[in-house]
Structure 1
Amino acid sequence: MRKALWIILGVLILDQALKIWVKTSFTLGEDLVITDWFILHFTENPGMAFGVEFGGTWGKLLLSVFRIATVVLIFLWLKKLSKRDIPFGGIVAVALILAGALGNIIDSALYGIIFEASTYDHISQAFPADGGYAPFLFGKVVDMFYFPIFKGYLPEWLGGDYFVFFRPVFNLADAAISTGVGLLILHQKSVFKEEDTSSKEEISPENQNKQP
């Protein structure tokens, strides 16, 4: 369990450090082009991972509550798994999923209180005198990774439209969740295998009296 906690802490520190740097250094929509296919593009996501939104004020509140409940359940699951003899890769998988979920919860829960709103012509400041841009649990998730690996037009038989792969903008927490899910699929047999008690022979009173 200790190694899993170190993984969670490491992902959280990196995720939050990157988000805070982007939030307080970029205007909304600003790009930092590293290569043609690797761009830091500052955007904010009021909904789920990879820019998916979940409708309206009540949808946002339900999503935040659901995230918190999910994190609690995943943490309890991780504690249970750590007591079993499973490959370490399975523990890493669940730890990454938990860390990613926590990273995005921090944004939703606290960023609206800590920061002023980011705009296309203004860089957000922390702890503004007039208060933050949103109440508790209504903050926006900071996204920045954009990988337009392929850009071009589809063949005519596919419609001929302009196409970008990979279009969604995401963050380190999203990447941790996706990596964790991938590892979980690889280790599913060991992680989801229930403890085998069928091989334990029940000893009846008659068997107890038998001498070898």
Structure 2
Amino acid sequence: MNLKKSALLILLILVIDQWSKIYIKTNFVLGESVDVFNWFKILFIENEGAAWGAKLSDIFPITDRSGKLILTIFRLFAIFGIGYWLNDVIKKKSSKTLIVAVSLIFAGALGNILDSVFYGLIFNESYNEVATLFSSEPYGGLFHGKVVDMLYFPLIDTTWPDWVPFVGGNNFRFFEPVFNIADTAISTGVGILLVFNKKAFKHHDEEASGSVEETENQESLKE
């Protein structure tokens, strides 16, 4: 897989991801949901923190605004790191599986960083109103945007039986997290690396094996 094909894959994911987020942001009020199926909903929420909504301010004695800035800067460094990795595996003509996986991870990370960097500048708040694109009253600033999530799959929504210790009578819902297309791309890329690990890194393993054999042959000739 060459650079052009990788770039097209990344661009496709970014377009779908940003289109879906902008559509949700400009057509839904925060917290509004639409039932697609009984196990799939479109639910508009905004994530101000990291995965699962975690905030640095919940861990360290800093303000939410400072925590958000630090997190966005960290994500920017991560983007450069993933981009370097992607460029490296393409140059080395690694396996298609590895290049696709890294491309998905890069596209997903870039999709979410666009929200974090720019959405605070171009949207107004979504509380009790539908946001406006390129609003004259933006809700944040550069590096202080909130990531838009909307895909919700409550595959199981029930109540624990009363006889179950500790949780009896409590609500049980699976799958709880709300996510977006960018998150899906990242999870898919990581999943490919985990499930198809040997296939993904096959080219590197062959090179390493070849180098060892070449070294052994050279040593045997010297003897």
- Global fold match (TM > 0.5): yes
- Return the alpha-carbon distance in structure 2 between the equivalents of residues 82 and 187 of structure 1: 18
CA offsets per residue over residues 121-180 of structure 1, 9 Å max, x none? 211011222x31111000100010111100111243252121011111111111111111
Match for residue 10 of structure 2?
8
Q: Unpaired runs of 5+ in structure 1?
A: 208-212
Greater helix share, structure number: 2
- Return the alpha-carbon distance in structure 1 between the equivalents of residues 6 and 54 of structure 2: 28
Match for residue 94 of structure 2?
86
Match for residue 95 of structure 1?
103
- Return the alpha-carbon distance in structure 2 between the equivalents of residues 86 and 186 of structure 1: 17
Match for residue 115 of structure 1?
123
TM-score under structure 2 length normalisation: 0.84
Where do residues 124-135 of structure 1 align in structure 2 (5 Å cutoff)?
Answer: 124-129=131-136, 131-135=137-141
Q: CA deviation at 1:25?
A: 0.3
Matched residue count: 204
Where do residues 148-187 of structure 1 align in structure 2 (5 Å cutoff)?
Answer: 148-155=154-161, 156-158=163-165, 159-160=167-168, 161-187=170-196
Q: CA deviation at 1:12?
A: 0.3
Does the aligned pair in 2 maintain the 1:49–1:174 contact within 8 Å?
Answer: no
CA offsets per residue over residues 9-51 of structure 1, 9 Å max, x none? 1100000000000000001111111111110011101012343
Supply the RMSD in Å over aligned alpha carbons. 2.0
- Return the alpha-carbon distance in structure 2 between the equivalents of residues 101 and 185 of structure 1: 18
Does the aligned pair in 2 maintain the 1:44–1:142 contact within 8 Å?
Answer: yes
- Return the alpha-carbon distance in structure 2 between the equivalents of residues 148 and 99 of structure 1: 26
Q: CA deviation at 1:203?
A: 5.7
Establish whether residue 21 from structure 1 lines up as the match of residue 23 from structure 2: yes
The one-letter code matched in structure 2 to 1:199 is E
Q: Unpaired runs of 5+ in structure 2?
A: 58-63
Establish whether residue 136 from structure 1 lines up as the match of residue 142 from structure 2: yes
Secondary structure of 2:145's aligned partner = coil
Does the aligned pair in 2 maintain the 1:68–1:105 contact within 8 Å?
Answer: yes
Match for residue 44 of structure 1?
46
The one-letter code matched in structure 1 to 2:47 is N
Secondary structure of 1:198's aligned partner = helix
The one-letter code matched in structure 2 to 1:198 is V
Where do residues 24-35 of structure 1 align in structure 2 (5 Å cutoff)?
Answer: 24-35=26-37
Does the aligned pair in 2 maintain the 1:50–1:174 contact within 8 Å?
Answer: no
Q: CA deviation at 1:96?
A: 0.7
- Return the alpha-carbon distance in structure 1 between the equivalents of residues 54 and 189 of structure 2: 19
- Return the alpha-carbon distance in structure 1 between the equivalents of residues 100 and 23 of structure 2: 27
Identical aligned residues as a percent: 41
- Return the alpha-carbon distance in structure 2 between the equivalents of residues 48 and 80 of structure 1: 27
Match for residue 210 of structure 1?
none
Name the stretch that deviates more: 13-22 or 69-78: 69-78
